[in-house]
Structure 1
Amino acid sequence: MVNYEELRTVKQLAAEAPFVTEAKLRWWIFHADTNGLNAALIKIGGRVYIDRAEFNKWLEAQRLAPKASAA
């Protein structure tokens, strides 16, 4: 279920996440079918919104190595 409070525009997400630029987000969105980001995207009319919670899941899945579990 989508929580509208978690939806961000490209500009908003880039402002909240300083490690990524608007251009990089747009590149990821353009290639969403091949990189798996499409699960985090919602398109309404001509606007694309990013579900922040799903984006964070996608980002976590990009780790090169599994995160060590706390013992």
Structure 2
Amino acid sequence: MVDLKDLLTVRQVADQSPGITENKLRWWIFHAETSGIAPALVRIGGRVYIDRAEFNRWLEGQRMAPKADRAA
């Protein structure tokens, strides 16, 4: 269940996230199915909101493995 207090606009997420621009977020949203961010999106009318908890889970899943682990 989505908590309304956890829904943010694209601009709010970009403002609160160092290194993540509004344009980059919009690119991820446009390519939501291939980027994997779709579970974090809530579409109401023509607006897109981002569920903060789901976005953080998705972002954590994007971490790259340390170099030692990638070589194995």
Normalised TM-score (structure 1): 0.89
Stretches of structure 1 lacking an aligned partner (at least 5 in a row): 67-71
Matched, 1:51 2:51: yes
- What does 1:13-52 align with in structure 2 at a 5 Å threshold? 13-52=13-52
After TM superposition, give the deviation of residue 6 of structure 1 in Å: 0.6
Larger Rg: 2
| Higher helix residue share | 2
| Percent identity of paired positions between Structure 1 and Structure 2 | 65
Deviations 1:2-61 (A, max 9, x none): 011110000111011121010000000001111110000000000000001000000010
CA RMSD in angstroms comes to: 1.0
Gaps of 5+ in 2: 67-72
The CA distance in 1 between the partners of 2:54 and 2:29, in whole Å, is 13
Segments ≥4 residues shifted beyond 6 Å: none
Length-normalised TM-score, structure 2: 0.87
Partner in structure 2 of residue 69 of structure 1? none
